[in-house]
Amino acid sequence: MRVLIIDDEPRARNFIRRLLARDCSVEIAGQCANGYEAIHAIKTKRPDLIFLDVQMPEIDGFMVLERLHPQEMPAVIFVTAYDQYALRAFEQHALDYLLKPFDEERFVRTL
């Protein structure tokens, strides 16, 4: 499974990367620090799954998804510190919604 990590916070990206690296069935396709990078990476790297932060400068996570064609859409797990976006995330067909700070056990259940 090819996975892309999208979060403007380096610590959050590194935490997710470390957790993913423990699963031999996961290939980390890349990391993105903003929505522009995310759109480009999704279109070129074609990940199966993305871990997507909601609040990022200029282009938020929902705007990233809006700029993709349906055939480009990977599975999405939102990762955010804000619970108020959960309903909207599931309306976008998110697989899950990880609320920061989350622990390894919660992450493994999601994955």
Q: What is the pLDDT of residues 64-103, one digit of tens each?
A: 999 999 999 999 999 999 999 999 999 999 999 999 999 9
Domain map (residue ranges) of the chain: 2-110
Asked if the 2-110 domain carries CATH number 3.40.50.300, the reply is: no
Tell me the pairing of strands 49-53 and 2-6. Answer: parallel
CA atoms within 13 A on the CB side of 106: 11
The predicted structure's pLDDT at residue 53: 97
Confidence at residue 87, expressed as pLDDT on a 0 to 100 scale: 94
Residue 56: both structure tokens together: 């990022």
Residue 40 neighbours by CB under 8 Å, 6+ apart? none
| Cα 105 to Cα 85: distance, rounded to the nearest angstrom | 22
- pLDDT at position 43, please? 97
Model confidence at 37, in pLDDT bands (50, 70, 90)?
very high
Per-residue pLDDT, 40: 98
